[in-house]
Amino acid sequence: MPSLAVIGSQWGDEGKGKIIDYLDEEADLIVRFQGGNNAGHTIVVGDKVFKLHGLPSGVVRPGKLAVIGNGTVVNIEELLQEIEQVESVGGSIEGLRISDRAALIMNYHKKLDGAEEKYRGNKPVGTTKKGIGPAYQDKIARIGFRAGDLLEEDTLKEKISLLIPYKKDLMNMLGAEGCSCTNESLLEKMTGWGEKIGKYICDTGVLINEALDEGKKVMLEGAQGAMLDIDHGTYPYVTSSSTVGGGICSGSGIAPNRLTGCLGVVKAYTTRVGEGPFVTELHGEEEEILQKKGGEFGVTTGRGRRCGWLDLVVVNHAKTLCGFTSLAITKLDVLNDYETLPVCTEYEIDGKRTKYFPGSIKNLEKAKPIYTELKGWKGWDDTEALVKGGYDALPDEMKTYIEFIEKNTGVPADLISVGADRDQTINRKADWWN
């Protein structure tokens, strides 16, 4: 019953999509277990580029089951658009399955997302405005729609008549742009969604557990990153789901003893989109250079990503929360041509050193990074040659950088990524499923 989870160890955009795609050739199922279309996972295969938001990365390789698990939030209208887009570049949704328990993102959630951001005044979260927070709020408040409701007209009618007056009042109160729908028009729209998407809706918990019983290989695709976790991230500058190890089980319906491997994806430097503290952040020209070299612009919102040096306090926090058994280090090629590469191993807060990530935002804002300066590598921009030579042929300084990460986390760097393409990857582990 092998399973392999892939989780971002920073604030998202670590290259999870690329790594999942590289490893899922042998997988039978690829399961998204949390988050929604706030995610933007890029997969590059030759001249084809897939930008996935709500769909699991499994849609890139025909023949896989691509499962949207119960812990996710799904915007059906945007999912239908994404399906069209993915099919137009050669993806296949034959294997798509959507959990009957997945929460739905409604139009009013998007509007409320914008209104709530305004209410936060000069301290917005910087959300993707996809309605993620309001949809999870409704799930927890037990007043949300679930995908399975689309198959039951009576349930839809009941929920619509209860919810719509309430949501309209709420939007008025918050000054959100109003919603012109009536109970009847919404029922018609949602019944239409059911007709289009109903054949994909099922009990995905049963599907995944039976697959594991049969010895099939299940990949669990994390979205966002550990530092955006609702409990363990930089609250309140986080997303609204459990992005760490615990979220895998509750969001897919499998028990903890069925998890056999967890790969942490570590970008060789750090980025973050949206607001919130970022201890190793660069500013001005230094940040611009790294942003440009790394192409650090959001897949979902197009916003420029904030950039900074690698922070191992962050990666170790993620390791503790996810139990990483391997690391994939991505975007090492972007660090080509730096004289020195600072790596943060501890914070200093009020004159005291700590290697643990603080819970208080106020403390985090005061934290100063303690850096170890490692030597950079120069002139290694031929990624084809880098991959061809394998790990041993990598520049010595790059190996020292990788080994510094291994030593400071205690986790082997089993995958090394030096380019966006599937082929620009060095694999140091013979069997990922044992």
Residues noted as catalytic = 13, 41
- Using a 10 angstrom Cβ sphere, with 0-12 exposed, 13-18 middle and 19 or more buried, the burial of residue 406 is middle
Q: Which is nearer to ligand IMO, 11 or 309 (CB)?
A: 11
The structure tokens 């005061």 sit at: 366
Structure tokens that stand for 410 in this block: 């205690």
The CB-of-326 to Mg ion minimum distance in angstroms stands at 20
Binding mask 281-320 for Mg ion (x = CB under 5 A): ------------------x---------------------
Q: Which of 34, 38, 42, 75 binds ligand GDP (CB under 6 A)?
A: 42
Q: Which is nearer to Mg ion, 13 or 28 (CB)?
A: 13
From the list Mg ion, ligand GDP, ligand IMO, none, partner contacted by residue 224 (C-beta under 5 to 8 A by kind): ligand IMO
Q: Which of 2, 17, 69, 395 binds ligand GDP (CB under 6 A)?
A: 17
From the list ligand GDP, ligand IMO, Mg ion, none, partner contacted by residue 15 (C-beta under 5 to 8 A by kind): ligand GDP
Instruction: Give the total of residues touching Mg ion (CB under 5 A).
Output: 3
**158 SS3 class:** helix
How many whole angstroms from its chain centre is CA 106?
A: 21
The CB-of-330 to Mg ion minimum distance in angstroms stands at 12
Report if residue 113 touches Mg ion, rule: CB under 5 A.
Answer: no
Q: Which of 417, 422, 426, 432 binds ligand GDP (CB under 6 A)?
A: 417
Which has the closest alpha carbon to 316: 409, 382, 426? Answer: 409
Q: Which is nearer to ligand GDP, 93 or 418 (CB)?
A: 418
Report if residue 335 touches ligand GDP, rule: CB under 6 A.
Answer: no
Q: Which is nearer to Mg ion, 37 or 383 (CB)?
A: 37
The structure tokens 């914008």 sit at: 114
Binding mask 20-49 for Mg ion (x = CB under 5 A): --------------------x---------
**384 SS3 class:** helix
Structure tokens that stand for 370 in this block: 């303690």
DSSP state at residue 195:
H
Q: Which of residues 286-315 bind ligand GDP (CB under 6 A)?
A: 295, 299
Stretch that binds ligand GDP, among 35-43, 64-72, 307-315, 401-409 (CB under 6 A): 35-43
Report if residue 420 touches ligand GDP, rule: CB under 6 A.
Answer: yes
Report if residue 8 touches ligand GDP, rule: CB under 6 A.
Answer: yes
Kindly report whether the peptide bond that precedes residue 134 is cis, defined as omega within 30 degrees of 0: no
Q: What is the 3-state secondary structure (H, E, C) of 253-313?
A: CCCHHHCCEEEEEEECCEEECCCCCCCCECCHHHHHHHHHHHCCECCCCCCECEEECEEHH
- Using a 10 angstrom Cβ sphere, with 0-12 exposed, 13-18 middle and 19 or more buried, the burial of residue 131 is buried
- For residues 318 and 222, the answer to whether their CB atoms sit within 8 Å is no
Report if residue 243 touches ligand GDP, rule: CB under 6 A.
Answer: no
Contacting positions for ligand IMO (CB under 6 A): 8, 11-13, 38-41, 125-128, 130, 132-133, 223-225, 228, 239-240, 273-274
- Using a 10 angstrom Cβ sphere, with 0-12 exposed, 13-18 middle and 19 or more buried, the burial of residue 353 is exposed
- For residues 417 and 328, the answer to whether their CB atoms sit within 8 Å is yes
Report if residue 44 touches ligand GDP, rule: CB under 6 A.
Answer: yes
CA distances from 177 to 105, 133, 138, 169, 190 (A): 17, 17, 19, 12, 21
- Report the alpha-carbon distance of residue 220 to residue 205 in Å, rounded: 13
Which residue type is seen at 408?
N
Report if residue 82 touches ligand GDP, rule: CB under 6 A.
Answer: no
Report if residue 40 touches ligand GDP, rule: CB under 6 A.
Answer: yes
The CB-of-17 to ligand IMO minimum distance in angstroms stands at 8
The β-bridge relationship of strands 48-52 and 41-45 is antiparallel
The CB-of-250 to ligand GDP minimum distance in angstroms stands at 21
From the list ligand IMO, ligand GDP, Mg ion, none, partner contacted by residue 418 (C-beta under 5 to 8 A by kind): ligand GDP
Q: Which is nearer to ligand GDP, 254 or 268 (CB)?
A: 268
From the list ligand IMO, Mg ion, ligand GDP, none, partner contacted by residue 334 (C-beta under 5 to 8 A by kind): ligand GDP
CA distances from 232 to 139, 344, 368 (A): 20, 20, 20
Kindly list the residues in this chain that would bind Mg ion in the complex (CB under 5 A). 13, 40, 299
Q: Residues interacting with ligand GDP, by CB under 6 A?
A: 8, 12-18, 40-42, 44, 295, 299, 330-331, 333-334, 417-420
